[in-house]
Structure 1
Amino acid sequence: MGKLPILLLSIALVLTEAGPRFDCFPEPNGANQQACEARGCVWSQDNSGKNAPWCYFKDGVGYNLDSQSGSTYNLRKNNGPGNPWGGDFTEIKLTTKTIGNVLNVKVGVDGR
């Protein structure tokens, strides 16, 4: 898998002394406790890391690798909390292609 896991984890993951956090309220207006918890996320006003989000997803949010064929990865929604912005797709497909020193990553759903 090479560079792929590093790329995926670095997209939205913030490492803090409290552990990894995915920002659940990335909007520019900022989060407050009521809006954060309405999304089903965790609110914690700690300063354990520079730029650590105070509103973050609970553990277990996301997709797990279901199968792989070459540079195509089929991911399946895990049993963790759902996406607060809309419905989750049961399966998504991630395809990688290297062109010289450039890594091209496509994420999508069959039929869309």
Structure 2
Amino acid sequence: MKYRLYPASEGGRKVTFQHLRCDFMYAGDDPQKDGIFMIHPEFLDEHNIPIGEDVIVPLTGRASMWILSPEMRSEVHRARAAVGVRGHFMEGARKVADVEIDAIAALHEDPST
């Protein structure tokens, strides 16, 4: 997934590190009506390797996304997630980044295997 974190001047965080525990919302959804989802990012370097915990996350880049609820994976995200779909990293009701799905890996596999 490609992301653009909002800088502090746009209401984003002053600094972000690996293991940010934000949630995900599909673009166009209403968080009060449609909800937000427990899908957490793992930020990657230019070689698609997870960055270190002590490295400041750049404002733009790529991240792997981890769906934490197996039920939501099968009931919601298999139907909604596709290359080109846009969304947001969320901290509560606050958007902190714009994202776009640019690849999908293992979404349609059984997470228990």
Shared fold per TM-score greater than 0.5: no
Shorter-chain TM-score tier:
under 0.3
Which structure exhibits the higher relative contact order, with contacts defined as CA atoms closer than 8 Å and separated by 6 or more residues? 2
Q: Higher strand share goes to which structure?
A: 1
TM-score calculated relative to the size of structure 1: 0.26
